[in-house]
Structure 1
Amino acid sequence: MRFDLIVGFVNPSITEKVIKTAKKSGATGDVIIQGKGSGMEPSNFLGLSIQDKTDIILFVVEEHHTSKIIKSVSKECHIEDPGNGILIALNIDKVAGLSNQIEKIRENLKTEQL
């Protein structure tokens, strides 16, 4: 099996919806990291830069689920709307610690049309 890392930088108001949508599409787990960031047009107040809160969501997924997860989350969570966030996918060369999830991933692959 080959795996990808999907990274979402999302508005905290849609974090739970992103996770639920990704899990419906094949993700088996997630990690959420709270952060701060600024978009193309940073906010200023009295000359000070204001950084918006953002959630960084990480999903390690079997590569056959990557496109489906990104498409589903993008559509259901309106990722393309300004301020909602972005999603990226990175290939993983090596992975350890997924033995408990491998069985569920195999079951998902058997029942899904890819």
Structure 2
Amino acid sequence: MQFKLIVAFVDDAVTDDVMKGARMAGATGATIINNARGEGVKRQRTFFGMQLETQRDVLLFVVEQHLARKILERISNIAGFDEDPGKGIAIQLNVEDAVGVAHQVERLKGKIEEEL
């Protein structure tokens, strides 16, 4: 079984919704890293030298390759990445090998057969 790693940088206000949507699209879970900070093309506004920016979360999903694109698109739609600049991004990377996912393989086999 082949896997992809989806890395999503989202506003912390939408993390729970993104997680629910990703699970509905086939993700079996994620690791969430709180309080990340990023900078895009435009620098964030400041107020007396303090940056006015929302907190970001980094979500790491290891997902089966056949489900990856669907999950990625669901994350993008829920987080609103294409609506306004600065909403966040998500990328997917190939996973050469993974351990610790054996308990999920049986569940994923059934899900993948349904999808295909």
Shared fold, TM over 0.5: yes
Distance 1:22 1:96, change over 3 A: same
Take 1:45 and 1:8, find their aligned partners in 2: how far apart are those partners? 28
User: 1:37–1:52: 8 Å Cα contact kept in structure 2?
Assistant: no
Tell me what 2:23 maps to.
23
User: 2:79–2:88: 8 Å Cα contact kept in structure 1?
Assistant: no
Unaligned runs of 5+ in 2: none
Unaligned runs of 5+ in 1: none
Take 1:2 and 1:22, find their aligned partners in 2: how far apart are those partners? 18
Q: Quick check: 1:36 aligned with 2:33?
A: no
Q: Equivalent residues in 2 for 1:1-114 (5 A)?
A: 1-34=1-34, 35-41=36-42, 42-82=44-84, 83-113=86-116
Deviation for aligned residue 1:17: 0.8
Take 2:114 and 2:49, find their aligned partners in 1: how far apart are those partners? 56
Q: Which amino acid aligns with 1:37?
A: G
The farther-off stretch of 97-106 and 78-87 is 78-87
Deviation for aligned residue 1:94: 1.1
Deviations 1:34-73 (A, max 9, x none): 1122332222222344554100001000111111111122
Take 2:26 and 2:89, find their aligned partners in 1: how far apart are those partners? 19
* Corresponding residue pairs, total: 113
Q: Kindly, what percent of the aligned residue pairs are identical?
A: 36
User: 2:10–2:79: 8 Å Cα contact kept in structure 1?
Assistant: no
Take 2:83 and 2:58, find their aligned partners in 1: how far apart are those partners? 17
Q: Which amino acid aligns with 2:32?
A: I
Distance 1:75 1:49, change over 3 A: closer
Q: Which amino acid aligns with 1:58?
A: L
Which has a greater percent of strand?
A: 1
